[in-house]
Amino acid sequence: MVLPLCELSYRKLMASKPKTKPAKKRIGRSRYSRDQLVEIFSRFKQQRKEPKGELDHVNAYTLLVAVVLSAQATDVGVNKATKALFAIVDTPEKMVTLGEEELIQHIRTIGLFRNKAKNVILLSKKLISEFDSQVPQNRDTLVTLPGVGRKTANVVVSMAFGQPTIAVDTHIFRLGNRVGLAPGKTTDDVEAILERVIPEEFLYHAHHWLILHGRYICKARKPDCEACIIADLCKSKEKTCDVPAPVIERGAG
């Protein structure tokens, strides 16, 4: 079949057009300058030089389990449930031997306990069969485990293996958007902005500093601006005080 000249010309034109690459996703920007960020995190460091996570654990495996259990639950509630559990279970093998039904009895005070128990048993079996019972030190590998998302993986590689990552939970997501530190529509957006703008010398502990600030000072319902050590730098429209609280050295938590 002979194509009309106009159609041949159209096809040649379309074939010669360069294929457009998909546009890169634009990530928001922090509202703070580098000097302001250095001052903010310098104060956090002065207040808590070596901040620690509040989930109790005895090794990398029990940390992984605790973080999986902490989804939509408080650290205090998880610690109460795991106190007796971790006294008898500290390896994947012991967890599998314990079994799903017995695990449920230990964690039934935690929200979504049935689904979490199922995932803990499944991830324990996978650790045994594919990773020689060792918790992977790589974030991309960790997220292949049942019940392990990006936030959980970030917490584990940071706390267990000393890698500087930002695990964006509800506190950090709220804080990043409320004060303009990392305005983003998703937790991945907030994570990307924070990892890009936080000065390298503060990045390792930044996750815990931000969580503690969001949990105890910049609270969801009503920020305690009078107790805020960065009130003078804060750019939130909600803030009620411009005078920073004195920086008093505290313990790890």
pLDDT, average across residues 31-48: 97
Give the global pTM. 0.81
pLDDT above 60: residue 4: no
72-75, long-range: CB within 8 Å, 24+ apart, which pairs? 72/111, 72/112, 73/110, 73/111, 73/112
Of 151, 188, 189, 224, the active-site residue reads 151
Burial tier of 53 (Cβ tally within 10 Å: 0-12, 13-18, 19+): buried
Q: Which residues span the domain enclosing 210?
A: 34-52+165-227
pLDDT band at 70 (very low <50, low <70, confident <90, very high): very high
In this prediction, residue 225 carries a pLDDT of: 97
Residue 173 domain-assigned (yes or no): yes
- 35 carries an active-site annotation: no
pLDDT reported for residue 174:
96
Q: What is the pLDDT of residue 246?
A: 96
CATH of the domain at 71: 1.10.340.30
Summarize the confidence of residues 186-211 as an average pLDDT.
Answer: 96
169 labelled catalytic: yes
135: in domain: yes
In a domain, 8, yes or no: no
pLDDT of residue 24: 58
Q: Which of 19, 169, 219, 222 is catalytic?
A: 169
Q: Give yes or no: residues 212 and 132 share one domain.
A: no
CATH of the domain at 221: 1.10.1670.10
Count of domains forming the chain: 2
Question: What contacts 106, CB < 8 A, 6 or more positions away?
Answer: 81, 82, 84, 85
* Residue 70 belongs to some domain of the structure: yes
